[in-house]
Amino acid sequence: MQTKQNEFDAETSQDLRFLLLSHDIRSVLSGIVGGLSLIEGATLTEQEQGHLARVKSAGRMLADLIEESGADPSARTPRDLDPAPVIEQIRARWENEGAANGVVINFGDSTNLPPVTGLSRVGFARIFNNLIGNAMKSPGVSVIEMTFDTTNTAELGVKISDNGGGFSATALEHAFQIWGGKVNTGRPQNGLGLYIVKSLVEHAGGRVRAFNRTQGGACVEVVLKSGKPVKPRQPATANALPDLSNLNILVAEDNVTNQLVVTQMLLALNAKFSVASDGVEALQLFEQEPFDLGLIDIEMPRKSGLEVIREVRNRPDARAKTPLVALTAYAMDDHRERIHKAGADGLIPKPITDIARFGEAILGFCTQTPTPAVEQTTPDGTVIDRSIYDALAEVIGKDSMVELLGKVQQDLRSVQSGLNDGMAAHDTAPIRANTHILMSVAGAIGAVGLQSVAQNLNQAAGQGDWPRVTPLADECQKGLDLVQTFVTKELSIW
C-alpha cells in the first residue's frame, strides 16, 4: 500500500511540477509577445517587419504547444477541424523564414478543403510545421510546395515537396523511425520530425508516406480522414449572386483597372456605390453622405488606406462605426495585424476572382458575420485560368470586358516599363510599386501564374534580395509577354 501511495505521490508531484513550470513559461512568453507588439509600432524596414512577423508567429505557436501539452486529452470533445485557418497560420510562419533563407515556399489553394477529423488545430500545425522544417534543411533546396488533393472528398491529401537533395536510401528506409533522418544536411537535427508526423497522422486514422520525386527532391504525402464531404463551389454565374440592392458602398481604389473590376461586380450585385481615387477623396465622400460599407485599398496616394480607416474611426459621429474592409494585394500576417489595429473590420484580398463570394463577404461584414472572399493565388502552369476569366466576362458583359482588357493592356505595358527601369537602375522601389499593381491586375483576369511570380518578386524586392530579384524579374517579364499576347488576341475577338 505504501508503495502505491509513493507512486501516486510521485506522479502527482510530476504533474504539479509541470503545471508550475508551464505557468511560468506562459508568463515569460506573454512578456516576449507583448514586447514584440510594442516593437511593431516602431518604424521598421520591410525586411525587419518580415522578421518580426516570423518571430510573432513562432511565439503564438509556442503558446499553443504549451497549452496543448497541459490539456487533458480525455476532456476534449472531438470535432471536425477546418484546415484553412491553420494553413494560413503555417503560411505566416514559414513564408518569411523561407525568404530569409533564400527559399521560395508556395502554398496551394486552401479554399474548399474538407474538414479533418481526429486532429486538434495544434496537432495539424505540428504535422506540417515539421514537414516544412525538414524540407528547409535539405541541401540545395530553393523551392518548397504545399499542395492539396480533394478529389476524394472522404479524405484530404496534402503533399510537402521540395527540390533539394532528397532522401538517401538509408534515410528513406528509416524515415519514420524515432531516430530516422532525411539526408546528411550538415545541419543539427535529431531525426524526430518524421516520427512526430507519423504518430500524429496515424493517431488521427490517417496515413503518411515519403518518397523521392522523379524530377529530383523529396516529397512527403499525408492523407487525413474527413469529417464530411465538402462540395467544391463552381465559379460564380450571373444568375446566382447575392443581392446588395439595399447597400450604399464606398470604393476607395487608385488603380483604374481595379476600379473597373470592383464597380462592375457591384453593378452585377445591384449595389449603389461611389468611387474615390485616393485617400483624400475617400474622406471627402465620407463627409458628404453615409455609407453602409467602405471598401478601402491600402496602397493609395495622398492618404493611405490605413490613414483613411483611422480618421473615419476617430470621427465624433455615427459614421465612425461604418464597417470598413481593407482591399489589399498584401495578405501577410503582419499586414493583417496592422490593418486590424487601424480599425478595419476585416480584409478582402485582391484580386477579387469570385463575384459570389465577394458579395457574400460584403453582406457578412455588414451584418458582422464576415465570410472572407476567395483568394486565388495558385499557378497551374497555364497563362490564364479560364474559369476566372470566363466567369468575369459573363458577369460584366462584352462592353465592360473590352474596356477592362484595354485598361489591363495599358497597365501591363506600364508595369513592364517600370520593371525595366527598376532593374536598370538597380532600384527596388519601382520594382515593388509595379509588382504591387501587377499582383491585382494579373489576378483579376485569371493570370494566376503571373500573379504568383509578381508576389515573389515583390517580396524579394522588399528584402533587397537581388540574387532572387534578378531571375524573378526575368520570369515576370516572360509572363508579361504571354499575358499581353493573350489580351491582344482577346481584344481582337471581342
Q: How far is the C-alpha of 8 from the C-alpha of 14, rounded, in Å? A: 10
Please tell me whether the peptide bond between 351 and the residue prior to it is cis, using omega within 30 degrees of 0: yes
d(CA 322, CA 325): 10
**Domain 248-366 class in CATH:** alpha beta
Contacts 24+ apart (CB under 8 A), 473-477: 473/419, 473/423, 473/431, 476/419, 476/435, 476/438, 476/450, 477/416, 477/419, 477/420
For residue 71, pLDDT beyond 60: no
pLDDT of residue 399: 79
Q: Which three cell numbers stand for residue 137?
A: 534543411
Q: Looking at per-residue confidence, does 177 or 327 come out higher?
A: 327
Least Cα distance to 139 among 83, 188, 184 occurs for 184
- For residue 7, the number of C-alpha atoms closer than 13 Å in the C-beta half-sphere is 4
Kindly tell me if the per-residue pLDDT of 170 is higher than 60.
yes
Please list, residue by residue across 113-125, b when 16 or more beta carbons sit within 10 angstroms of its beta carbon and e when fewer do.
bbbbbbbbbbbbb
Residue extents of the structural domains in the chain: 18-75, 77-232, 248-366, 386-493
Instruction: Supply φ then ψ for residue 459, to 5 degrees.
Output: -65, -45
Residue 244, CB-side half-sphere exposure with 13 Å CA sphere: 30
Lowest mean pLDDT among 48-52, 111-115, 210-214, 360-364: 48-52
- 41: DSSP letter: T
Architecture of the domain whose range is 386-493: Up-down Bundle (1.20)
d(CA 131, CA 221): 10
Quote the pLDDT of residue 182.
46
pLDDT of residue 248: 93
Residue labelled with grid coordinates 500500500: 1
Residue given cell 497560420 in the structure block: 89
The Cα 349–Cα 298 span in angstroms is 11
291 vs 302: CA distance, rounded Å: 22
Cell numbers for 239? 444568375
Residue 73 has pLDDT above 50, yes or no: no
Domain covering 77-232: architecture: 2-Layer Sandwich (3.30)
Calculate the average pLDDT of the chain.
78
Confidence (pTM): 0.49
Count the Cβ atoms, other than its own, within 10 Å of residue 85: 12
How far is C-alpha 196 from the chain's CA centre? 26
Residue 92 or 265, more confident: 265
Side chain identity at residue 426, one-letter code: H
Least confident of 125-129, 331-335, 362-366, 438-442: 331-335
Assigned C-alpha cell, 153: 472528398
Run of H or E including 53: helix 46-70
